[in-house]
């Protein structure tokens, strides 16, 4: 058998360039798997790069899918084998969030968390949407005049007990007591900034200390992630919860961070969070992250999901909290 003149490569033998591309894809796959598995090891300097990566960690899955498509087109066995690493780590880390979770398991409170936006032009409509959730507790942030009066009036019939301090508030179907401001103001912010409140909810299943908080905003710029104030506020909130005398605690708030973000470690290290559901809540027009959180102590946060958009730039999130 005589090879065709000028072919230079026998039929069925991969080209050198194709092999190199396969190894390149494999290298990227291993790197992505490493980031997923060891994101805590990524330095948080400069520009809090570790926190920045953690804020969008679930989206690494899209990069893995793109690499998988390229590997299939290239028919690269080495790339396909290497991609098993990031796929396995992603499934281990986030796969549980895809499961439906359990609801209606007995000693359970349904809670809603919503940053209603200080520019919301339809507070009454927003209130009606939240009432429709049937929640036991409703936590709101960015409450400003004259909108706060609309929320108080609209929610009163379904939630006869409520407390508002500063720009955050809690509405409850069950009696409240011990209402007080929680000081989570970073030192660099001027006086008059009040974004934390605590109250004891006397639920049918026992007392629960409910915290509502709105941590400072973060910004992404050329210098990285500007989150120092958010991190300081999270530390102050973490200390307050650690000192809480009521055993069962539920934290509802716009924490301006995802649960993987190390900046929220003062909270996630002592509180549990949702076992299923991604519930990306921000921005409402195209949600890319869940920064509206429900966390708990001596309780289990089950499935978490978003509600339809309101007049806010955040989506409301609703969760089922089962008390121990």
Centre a 10 Å sphere on the Cβ of residue 266 and count the other Cβ atoms it contains.
20
Average pLDDT (203-216) is: 98
Please tell me the predicted confidence (pLDDT) of residue 101.
66
Report how far residue 211's alpha carbon sits from residue 169's, in angstroms, rounded to the nearest whole number: 9
Q: Contact, 148 vs 117, CB < 8 A?
A: no
Please write the tens of the pLDDT for every residue from 228-253. Answer: 999 999 999 999 999 999 999 999 99
Q: What is the mean pLDDT of the chain?
A: 92
What per-residue confidence (pLDDT) applies to 104? 57
pTM metric for this prediction: 0.88
- What phi and psi, each to the nearest 5 degrees, are found at residue 195? -135, 30
Rounded mean pLDDT, 4-13: 50
Which tens digit of pLDDT belongs to each residue from 249-259? 999 999 999 99
How far CA 321 is from CA of 40, 87, 111, 112, 294, in Å, comes to 28, 30, 7, 11, 9
Over the stretch 135-191, which tens digit does the pLDDT of each residue have? 999 999 999 999 999 999 999 999 999 999 999 999 999 999 999 999 999 999 999
| In 166-234, beta strands by DSSP E | 168-172, 176-181, 196-203, 206-214, 219-221, 224-226
* Residue 221 confidence (pLDDT): 77
Which pLDDT value is given to residue 97? 84
Confidence check: pLDDT of 292 > 70: yes
**% of residues, the chain, pLDDT over 70:** 93
Q: Is 242 helix (H, G, I), strand (E, B) or coil?
A: helix
**pLDDT: is 312 or 99 the higher one?**
312
Task: Give pLDDT, residue 14.
Answer: 55
Q: Is the pLDDT of residue 192 over 60?
A: yes
Predicted local confidence at residue 6, as pLDDT:
47
Tell me how crowded residue 51 is: count the other CB atoms within 10 A of its CB: 24
CA 295 – CA 234 distance, rounded (Å): 13
Main-chain phi, psi angles of 45, to 5 degrees: -140, 150
Structure tokens at 280: 């990306």
pLDDT for 102 beyond 70: no
As given in the structure block, the two tokens for residue 133 are 């959730």
Distances (CA, A) of 170 to 113, 152, 218: 9, 10, 24
Examine the pLDDT at 105 and tell me if it is beyond 70: no
């Amino acid at each position: 058998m005589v090879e065709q003149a000028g072919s230079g490569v026998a039929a069925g033998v991969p080209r050198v360039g194709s092999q190199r591309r396969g190894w390149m894809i494999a290298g990227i796959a291993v790197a992505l798997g490493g980031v997923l598995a060891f994101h805590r090891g990524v330095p948080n300097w400069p520009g809090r790069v570790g926190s920045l990566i953690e804020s969008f960690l679930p989206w690494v899955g899209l990069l893995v899918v793109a690499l998988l498509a390229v590997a299939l087109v290239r028919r690269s066995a080495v790339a396909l084998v290497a991609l098993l690493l990031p796929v396995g780590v992603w499934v281990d880390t986030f796969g549980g969030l895809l499961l439906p979770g359990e609801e209606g398991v007995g000693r359970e409170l349904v809670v809603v968390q919503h940053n209603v936006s200080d520019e919301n032009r339809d507070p009454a409509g927003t209130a009606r949407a939240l009432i429709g959730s049937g929640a036991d507790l409703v936590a709101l942030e960015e409450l400003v005049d004259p909108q706060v009066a609309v929320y108080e009036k609209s929610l009163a019939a379904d939630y006869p007990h409520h407390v508002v301090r500063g720009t955050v508030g809690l509405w409850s179907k069950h009696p409240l007591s011990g209402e007080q401001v929680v000081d989570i103001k970073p030192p660099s912010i001027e006086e008059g900034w009040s974004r934390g409140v605590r109250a004891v909810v006397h639920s049918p299943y026992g007392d629960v200390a409910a915290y509502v908080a709105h941590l400072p905003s973060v910004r992404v710029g050329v210098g990285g992630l500007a989150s120092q104030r958010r991190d300081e506020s999270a530390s102050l909130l973490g200390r307050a919860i650690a000192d809480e005398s009521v055993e069962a605690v539920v934290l509802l708030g716009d924490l301006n961070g995802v649960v993987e973000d190390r900046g929220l470690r003062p909270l996630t290290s002592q509180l549990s969070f949702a076992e299923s559901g991604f519930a990306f809540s921000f921005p409402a027009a195209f949600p890319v992250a869940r920064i509206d959180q429900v966390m708990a102590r001596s309780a289990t946060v089950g499935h978490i999901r978003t509600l339809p958009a309101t007049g806010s730039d955040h989506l409301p999130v609703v969760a089922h909290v089962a008390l121990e």
